[in-house]
Structure 1
Amino acid sequence: MTILVTAHGEMTIGEANTLESTAPDGVLAAVFEDDGETGYFYAIDESAAGNPIRDALHIYNIEDIADRHKPCDVKVGWSEDNKKCVLLINGYPHGVFDFQNKNGYCRTGFPPAVNAEWSVAGHEWDYRVDEFF
């Protein structure tokens, strides 16, 4: 499958910043946020009642990144079916959301599920996500 990149930017880890991405069909979205202490990736569904955040993935703690002073290339891309998205930092996948199956995957496997409908088995990385894109 092809990755359709809808958001791209250069960031320095530890400098507060966000990168917002909407699926090409305009229904779903994802946001990567570095708040100066941690990096998180959020699955957003504006059509959902109440809170549009469906899931959240911990990507990093700033203090754990040795080369945090170097700028990073950050991209969010979507699958052709607009149901899966990936966070790429310097070309490496750090987080994936599967909106269809309501699951998020990240390298840290953290945090526990934020709602009863998503990622009920946790956020552990699964190498099968490579087949999504």
Structure 2
Amino acid sequence: MMDKTLLVIYEKQTFHVGQDTFIESTVENDNAVVFEDNCETGYFYAVDRSNNGLKVLDGLHIYNVANVTDRHKPSTVKILWNEKLSKAFLSINDYYHAVFDFQNHAGYCRNGFPETNNSWSDIKERKLTDSLLEELYRNNDR
């Protein structure tokens, strides 16, 4: 589906679902994301790194640890960015779980949770489908 030459892996780490994990990726234009497993849930965050801080702009639910059937096995998380550094993709075990589109202030994940309730996000529908993923991937100007 995706031509891997157009997405660049900025972070790649092995982790265990249910173990405290914090993986940050900040690119040259200061767009930044964080993947976090707090031992109960996995979330992907768009963050603001200005003023030497870490302010959460938006968050996307990735999983509940209790519902991950193969959590005893090591997993590989990748944070990839498009060429324009405007979209961050979260891949776990080579499956795309979430995307943040910084240009359009939008975040999408497979379960569409939580609903947007912040001023950063400009969208209402947050569910990431394979067709939306393909569209986000192909359209770097969207």
TM norm structure 2: 0.84
**Between the two proteins, what is the percent identity of the paired residues?**
42
Aligned residue runs from structure 1 range 48-87, under 5 A:
52-87=55-90
The one-letter code of the counterpart of 1:3 is L
Distance (whole Å) between structure 1 residues aligned to residue 47 and residue 65 of structure 2: 24
Higher helix share: 2
Aligned counterpart, 2:140 = none
The DSSP-based 3-state class of the residue aligned with 2:66 is: helix
Greater RCO, CA 8 A, separation 6+: 1
Give, in whole Å, the separation in 1 of the partners of 2:117 and 2:73.
Answer: 31
Instruction: Identify the residue that residue 110 of structure 2 maps to in structure 1.
Output: 107
Stretches of structure 1 that go unaligned for 5 or more consecutive residues are: none
Equivalent residues in 2 for 1:24-39 (5 A)? 25-39=28-42
CA-based RMSD of the aligned residues comes to: 1.9
Aligned counterparts of 2:34 and 2:54: Cα–Cα separation in 1:
14
Aligned residues: 131
Q: 2 CA distance for matches of 1:31 and 1:51? A: 10
In structure 2, runs of 5+ residues without a counterpart are 138-142
Could you list the runs of 4 or more consecutive aligned residues of structure 1 that deviate by over 6 angstroms after TM superposition? none
Alignment-mate amino acid for residue 92 of structure 2 = I
State the distance in 2 between where 1:118 and 1:7 align.
Answer: 24
Q: How far apart, CA to CA, are the structure 1 residues paired with 2:122 and 2:67?
A: 25
